[in-house]
């Protein structure tokens, strides 16, 4: 259901919204801009347990008006987990990757997320879905960090306990198999495949959440948005560090 519902967040920018959510609902967390050199121009913000920019090994809440994928005058609010680069058998020199911090270590949330059973992902989606009247989406972007080549993007609706692929922008074919999945078990299996050697150089950004209107003079549905975001806390808080 939920087809036509819309909720509004009365803020001017993703930055102001992320600060408001952090202050009221994520005490002790940090707002981190994607563009760390220019807070004012960053359209993409994380709410993270960590103060530093290199929060991508961990799960974070995300607030984004990134115009390459978020519709105008809307904001995507949800959960973000990232797959880094994979150094198989330590074949690569660190410098080959551009940045050694981009290479996944065992403590990255991606491992826990992609290895969780389908019913845990199902629970995660259901909990988020129940907090708003909006449609919960999974959005996956995949590509190379440094080459500037266009990224693949697939978007799913979570509806009637199934995944419904609603758009696939095929730029590099990396997400072709994922775009064919309609159930959570094959979705998880395909994510695990994407962690293999063939995709060692691919970065993946995976988002779970919903689009909200972002109209400063409109109604205030922040409580619903925050209720949805806080359901993701078990996938944000850090597990034991493993070496």
Q: What is the pLDDT of residue 241?
A: 45
Binned at pLDDT 50, 70 and 90, residue 153 comes out as very high
- Burial bucket for residue 93 (CB in 10 Å: 0-12, 13-18, 19+): exposed
Task: Please say if the pLDDT value at position 13 is more than 60.
Answer: yes
By C-alpha distance, which of 67, 65, 62, 56 is closest to 78? 62
Task: Please say if the pLDDT value at position 86 is more than 80.
Answer: yes
Q: Please indicate, yes or no, whether the overall pTM of this predicted structure exceeds 0.85.
A: yes
Give the chain's radius of gyration (CA, Å). 17
- Burial bucket for residue 215 (CB in 10 Å: 0-12, 13-18, 19+): middle
By C-alpha distance, which of 52, 59, 28, 113 is closest to 237? 59
Helix (H, G, I), strand (E, B) or coil at 89: helix
Helix (H, G, I), strand (E, B) or coil at 224: helix
pLDDT digits over 100-114, tens only?
788 898 889 999 999
Q: What is the pLDDT of residue 88?
A: 72
């Amino acid at each position: 259901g939920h087809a036509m519902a819309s909720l509004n967040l009365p803020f001017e920018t993703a930055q102001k919204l992320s600060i408001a959510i952090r202050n009221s609902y994520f005490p002790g967390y940090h707002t981190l801009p994607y563009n760390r050199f220019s807070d004012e121009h960053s359209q993409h913000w994380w709410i993270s347990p960590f103060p530093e920019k290199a929060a991508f090994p961990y799960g974070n809440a995300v607030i984004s008006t990134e115009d390459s994928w978020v519709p105008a005058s809307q904001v995507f609010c949800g959960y973000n987990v990232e797959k880094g680069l994979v150094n198989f058998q330590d074949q690569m020199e660190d410098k080959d990757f551009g940045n050694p911090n981009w290479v996944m270590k065992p403590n990255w949330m991606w491992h826990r997320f992609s290895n969780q059973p389908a019913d845990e992902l199902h629970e995660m989606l259901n909990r988020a879905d129940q907090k708003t009247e909006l449609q919960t989406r999974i959005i996956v972007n995949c590509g190379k960090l440094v080459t500037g080549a266009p990224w693949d993007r697939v978007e799913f609706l979570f509806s009637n306990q199934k995944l419904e692929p609603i758009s696939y922008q095929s730029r590099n074919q990396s997400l072709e198999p994922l775009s064919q999945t309609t159930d959570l078990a094959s979705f998880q299996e395909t994510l695990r495949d994407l962690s293999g050697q063939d995709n060692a150089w691919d970065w993946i950004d995976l988002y779970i959440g919903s689009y909200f209107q972002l109209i400063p003079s409109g109604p205030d549905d922040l409580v619903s948005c925050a209720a949805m975001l806080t359901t993701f806390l078990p996938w944000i808080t850090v597990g034991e560090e493993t070496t």
